């Protein structure tokens, strides 16, 4: 019975990591697009990428990809890898994507 319990716990833990990675990807995309809409057009990409990576832990930041674009309607896409059992060791070969978009803020002119 003990091996079955251990296998079940490992599978449940892996599902927790998959869900957590989806949550991180969505939050990183939200943070990135929020920073991108508030930044001036010339510094939008750098601000967007920095904000997208800022809240990620080291295990997810290493393979993270943040892309930002758009004029008027700013978008951010974040791609993360799901770790196998322990963050920072081995990653699954499939990525998790997060996407967000927002209308560019008016500078008040």
In a domain, residue 108? The reply is no
In a domain, residue 16? The reply is yes
- The rounded distance, in Å, linking the Cα atoms of 42 and 68 is 12
Range of the domain at 36: 2-103
Count of structural domains within the chain: 1
In a domain, residue 42? The reply is yes
Q: What is the pTM of this model?
A: 0.81
85 CB-side CA count, 13 A: 7
Instruction: Kindly report the average pLDDT of the chain as a whole number.
Output: 84
| pLDDT at site 108 | 57
Contact 31, 54 (CB under 8 A): yes
More confident position, 30 or 85? 30
In a domain, residue 109? The reply is no
């Amino acid at each position: 019975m003990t091996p079955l319990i251990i296998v079940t716990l490992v599978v449940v833990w892996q599902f927790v990591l998959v869900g957590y990675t989806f949550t991180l990807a969505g939050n990183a995309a939200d943070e990135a697009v929020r920073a991108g809409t508030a930044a001036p057009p010339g510094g939008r990409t750098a601000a967007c990428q920095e904000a997208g990576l800022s809240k990620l832990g080291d295990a997810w930041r290493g393979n993270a990809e943040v892309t930002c674009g758009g004029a008027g309607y700013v978008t951010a896409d974040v791609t993360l890898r799901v770790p196998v059992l322990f963050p920072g060791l081995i990653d699954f070969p499939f990525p998790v994507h997060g996407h967000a978009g927002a209308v560019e803020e008016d500078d008040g002119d």
